[in-house]
Structure 1
Amino acid sequence: MHLRKFDYFQLAIALGGLAIFIIMAFGYVNNLSYITTIDQFGLHYIREPLTPERSWFFRNITRAGNTKWTALVMAITAIIAVLVRKWDVAVFMVVNVGVFGGGVMSVFKHIFKRPRPNIYHVIEQSGYSFPSGHALNAILLYGSLIVLVHYYLKSEDNIRYAFMTLFAALIIAIPVSRVYLGVHYLSDVLAGFGLGTFLLIMSKEIIFKYRTREVFENAQNSESGSNIAK
């Protein structure tokens, strides 16, 4: 087994995400003016204008963050990992998508109990608004897949960059879709995104601290190859 050093740069990013979540939560609970400013910005610059074409696009994009879909992807990935005896990968997916994306999100929603925006909803959505479960699921699911692609696909493979680009685009597009569809405030999305970033990085650094030498050296060699190519 190879022991990785803790990545303090990524720790700083994780703490930044946690800070965003705390700032959004504190602002909402205390009804501070910056929350209103953030939410109005989202309504004016993300939601407008409402058009049939944009509504079609965001209705379909948001499905990639639905609970059933994320649970299905988690289950398939975890089952494959178990079959090939990559136990850390299975634990990584179940913890992020199942425990964090499902359990932690539900707990926070019932703590804050924020009603959804009192505006026209392009899609039907029940439940509470803060934090955005879709934003949280987007970063936890597709961020986890980016981590796995980085570890298990060689840098020479164009498919590696194609997957990473697709997943990164979904991480951005899914939260944006929630504001456009009228089912979340921008502050909800920022809170979910920040919390998801914190949980993803911390789980990655802890679960993958002990890795097989083969996989760890493969990731290192991929990075070295990219640097030489440059």
Structure 2
Amino acid sequence: MKQRVRLLEWMILCAGVFIGMASTYETAVLVYTDAAVSKYIHSFRNDMFTMFFRLISDIGSIRLYAPLVCLLTLYFLIRKRWLVVVLLVVSLYGSRYLNFALKSWFERARPDIHTLVTATGYSFPSGHAMNATAFIGFIAYLAITEHRLELRQKAIIITVASLLIFSVTLSRVYLGVHYPTDILAGCAAGGAWLILCILFHQFFSKKTA
């Protein structure tokens, strides 16, 4: 019970951060901060980093997530983990469709200078950030909770997942297709969605145990 309450508190915090970003990203302070942080990140551009972040950005796209969710679905179907299969799909596609709805609501234009790749659609919140936080985070959660792992193995999974999420989100600012506030809002919304999926997993797993 205490764990669920703590998760609810974190979900409320994530939702609060998103609402805060959504309410203030057009203010002069955050517009200036977006420009300053983006300029600083762009100052590190070179051929090696550009190649790396283009690859990382592709990794954080539906082109990888779709086949990955199919493989994981097959794995958990074989193990007869029906709830996990449903939540895997909900984690990814729920996050994606919620992101589409939020982008359509806010209609923030993408940065139009210093872009290294082409990106379509609106900018706020970042789909890459939201989906990476929700989906990669949920995979890490399942890897830890659905298997008997040592503490060291759990730490490795959390570290790898965190670094991957961070790299995917950073890549979007580096490539010039998102503002930092888009990323923060996307991570916050994705975090709230991730926690909601975790709560459903914990609640219904105990119901069927």
Question: TM-score if structure 2 supplies the norm length?
Answer: 0.91
1:162 Cα deviation (Å)? 3.2
- Measured after TM superposition, the shift of residue 120 of structure 1 is 1.9
Residues 1:150 and 2:147 are matched in the alignment: no
1:56 corresponds to 2:61: no
Equivalent in the alignment of 1:18: 15
- Paired amino acid for 1:152: E
Counterpart amino acid of residue 52 in structure 1: D
After TM superposition, the structure 1 stretch with the greater mean CA deviation from structure 2, 64-73 or 137-146, is 64-73
Uncovered stretches (5+) of structure 1, i.e. residues with no partner: 216-230
SS in 1 for 2:71: helix
Q: How far apart are 1:82 and its partner, in Å?
A: 1.9
- Conserved in 2, the CA contact under 8 Å of 1:70 and 1:137? no
1:40, CA displacement in angstroms?
A: 2.1
2:165 equivalent in structure 1: 171
Counterpart amino acid of 1:49? F
Counterparts of 2:174 and 2:41 in 1: how far apart (Å)? 6
Give distance in 1, aligned partners of 2:126 and 2:37. 14
Deviation string, structure 1 residues 181-203 (Cα, Å, up to 9, x no partner): 00000010011000000111012
Q: How far has the Cα of 1:141 moved from its partner?
A: 1.3
Question: Contact (CA 8 Å) 1:149, 1:164: kept in 2 or not?
Answer: no
Q: Provide the C-alpha distance between the structure 1 equivalents of 2:4 and 2:33, rounded to a whole number of angstroms.
A: 31
DSSP 3-state at the match of 2:15: helix
Most deviating of 42-51 and 121-130: 42-51
2:62 corresponding residue in structure 1: 67
1:71–1:98 contact (8 Å) kept in structure 2: no
Q: CA deviation at 1:163?
A: 3.1
RMSD (Å) for aligned C-alpha atoms: 2.2
Q: Distance in 1 between matches of 2:62 and 2:118?
A: 15
Q: Distance in 2 between matches of 1:190 and 1:24?
A: 8
1:16–1:212: structure 2 CA closer, same or farther, 3 Å change rule? closer
Match of 2:102 in 1: 108
Counterpart selection for 2:178 from 172, 177, 184:
184
Distance in 2 between residues matched to 1:87 and 1:96, nearest whole Å: 14
- Specify the code of the residue in structure 2 equivalent to 1:40: A
Residue equivalent to 1:76: 71
Residue 4 (structure 2) pairs with residue 7 (structure 1): yes
* Alignment size in residue pairs: 209
CA contact (8 A) 1:48 1:180 kept: no
TM-score, normalising length: structure 1: 0.83
